[in-house]
Amino acid sequence: MATHPRYQGVFPVVPTIFKESGELDLPGQKRCIDFMIDAGSHGVCILANFSEQFSISDDEREILTREILEHVAGRVPVIVTTTHYGSLICAQRSRRAQDLGAAMVMVMPPYHGATIRVPEPNIYEFFSKVSDAIDIPIMIQDAPVSGTTLSAAFLAKMASEIANVSYFKIETPGAASKLRELIKLGGAAIEGPWDGEEAITLLPDLEAGCTGAMTGGGYPDGIRQIMDPWFAGNRAQAIDAYSRWLPLINYENRQGGILSAKALMKEGGIIDSDVSRHPFPAMHPAVRSGLLETARRLDPLVFRWGK
């Protein structure tokens, strides 16, 4: 594996911006990216589940990857999600992302629908084939949506034996305990034990040793207020900040979900439309109102950047 920086900090997921018609809104997408960088993101992740990747065509994936990486132009590292059931297709997607300038790829274990799963030896081979195709790090996304149980021991084994597997986004129940075990078992092979799930478990995950957070994209400045003092050794300040931002984190995680970042960005004048693509349901007006009310108490940059 080539030598790469060790990535850490706040790497939020970039929402995909659509016009009211459902078409991609590339100017809005670029404003979204600029805001997220200005709000303190150490890096960003595109085409993730919180980017509504399941509603995007293969041609649109290519457009978004190319346009975003060109627009970012090296200001921050970009993680490209390349998840696919097929080893060959995932490897090809990952190689293409690398060629376009991705700093890392994020991949879930292979799965399809509610019932098609893959045994551990085949998962190992899957990540080996993806690793063989690229020279940049792979982040394994350990999330319930895949329906696949990945033990800490198995993740540590892959980190130790597969060249580019070195980052892990842990979104399962008991994330802090799993991070702690993963770090213990994998040692130096675990370059990036990361928190996910909108930072709802960020504080215990930091206590367990996580070094990065992949959150929603609406308030990177708020997540920085937690992580910066933590890594500066000021635990009390980090806890105070987590307590302040937790109501908004909770609202995104448990109420607004995928559409939260776009609702905040539209309210702040950054994007023109916060729609999703049909058949994904729109956010209930009462949920939107509650989300915005909760956010306003914190005065995040998202309400001021575009005005």
Q: What positions carry a catalytic annotation?
A: 169
Nearest residue to 227 (alpha-carbon basis) of 237, 219, 217: 237
- Rounded to 5 degrees, φ, ψ at 45 are -125, 130
DSSP 132-165: HH-SS-EEEEE-GGG-----HHHHHHHHHHSTTE
Sheet holding 9-10, edge to edge: 9-10, 212-213, 192-195, 165-170, 138-142, 104-107, 78-81, 44-46
Cα 119 from Cα 147, distance rounded (Å): 12
Q: How far is CA 234 from CA 10, 73, 122, 145, 228, in A?
A: 17, 33, 44, 35, 9
Report whether 282 contacts 275 (CB < 8 A). yes
- The HSE-up count of residue 213 (CA atoms within 13 Å, CB side) is 33
Q: Which two tokens stand for residue 258?
A: 């995928």
> Which of the 8 DSSP states describes residue 254?
I
Report whether 193 contacts 211 (CB < 8 A). yes
What sections of the chain are H helices per DSSP? 26-38, 58-72, 87-100, 120-133, 152-161, 175-186, 202-208, 220-231, 235-251, 260-267, 285-296
